[in-house]
Amino acid sequence: MVVATIVASESLGQGDITEAADRIAAAGAEVGARVELDPGKAADIFFAGDAAAVRAALQAMPGAIDVIVQPEEGRAKSLLVADMDSTMITIECIDELADYAGIKAQIAEVTERAMRGELDFAEALRARVALLAELDEARIDQCREERVRIMPGARELIRTMRARGAHTVLVSGGFTRFAEPVGAEIGFHKVVANVLGIEGGKLTGRVADPIVDSARKRHELEQAMAERGILPAHTMAVGDGANDIPMIEAAGLGVAYHAKEKARAAADAEIRHGDLSVLLHAQGLARGDWVTE
């Protein structure tokens, strides 16, 4: 049995659920039970049939509705590996740090191209970091305090999964000086990120090797699976850029979060409208089951 979870950014009416069921049937699937996870917000529709065809049919629904289609078995995940910038937090840290050096526009353009998959990630990262040479180290903490904001739904997602026994890993192509405090605040078990070179209280313009790139992100997923005996079907990866694609493709449920086109094309599911709490509904959890503190 396959389950389609539909989550509205605003209001989910009975008419929306009926339309979704009709679309599933029109895609050639046999519609089963309908369950309202959170009345007016999220619902499950179970079916037997072609998951890809159903996903395409449901994503064409009007309105701000996100859709996750996956096997019912294994929908509650035991491992989550997540990107940080523009996924677990609302900004790209290197772009905001560059603003303190007066070169945000220059660096943000390179970041955007790298996230779209138009540039080699490691080379683009080294080039951007080189432009930050001589920036005062104190600007890192200032930037984090003034500009880093946790993505809506992130705390609930990670804390709820932890409470249910899942292992959580934050793996970022950004920097430890941002990722470690963010990971601790949200509640991740493990944090992996790049290390900025700092000497005499200033950035050196270098980043330590090896770079945390797309291959490292997939490695962290596979390593956690092997160490904990977790089957691929019980894993989830979420990110927004091209460097997230290998881990998205390797996970049982690979999710593109408000993502670039290449990441969207590679993912099993995408969140286009809502926040990260959609991934709790996708695991069959109603709001009353979430850990909010």
On the question of pLDDT at 157 being above 90, the answer is yes
Distances (CA, A) of 277 to 106, 136, 257: 33, 37, 11
Model pLDDT, residue 165: 97
Model pLDDT, residue 72: 96
44 found inside a domain? yes
The fraction of the chain above a pLDDT of 90, given in percent, is: 98
pTM reported for the whole predicted model: 0.95
Model pLDDT, residue 27: 97
146 found inside a domain? no
35 found inside a domain? yes
pLDDT tens for residues 249-264? 999 999 999 999 999 9
Model pLDDT, residue 153: 97
pLDDT tens for residues 16-67? 999 999 999 999 999 999 999 999 999 999 999 999 999 999 999 999 999 9
Q: Which of 254, 219, 263 is nearest to 233 (CA)?
A: 254
Annotated catalytic residue within 66, 83, 268, 275: 83
On the question of pLDDT at 112 being above 90, the answer is yes
Annotated catalytic residue within 16, 66, 85, 240: 85
Task: Give burial (CB, 10 Å; 0-12/13-18/19+) of 5.
Answer: buried
On the question of pLDDT at 293 being above 90, the answer is no
For the chain, how many structural domains are there in total?
1
**Is 50 an annotated catalytic residue?**
no
Q: Which CATH number covers residue 18?
A: 3.30.70.260
134 found inside a domain? no
**Is 85 an annotated catalytic residue?**
yes
261 found inside a domain? no
Q: Which amino acid is at 155?
A: R
87 found inside a domain? no
The fraction of the chain above a pLDDT of 70, given in percent, is: 100
Domain that holds residue 27: 1-73
pLDDT tens for residues 117-133? 999 999 999 999 999 99
40 found inside a domain? yes
60 found inside a domain? yes
Model pLDDT, residue 167: 98
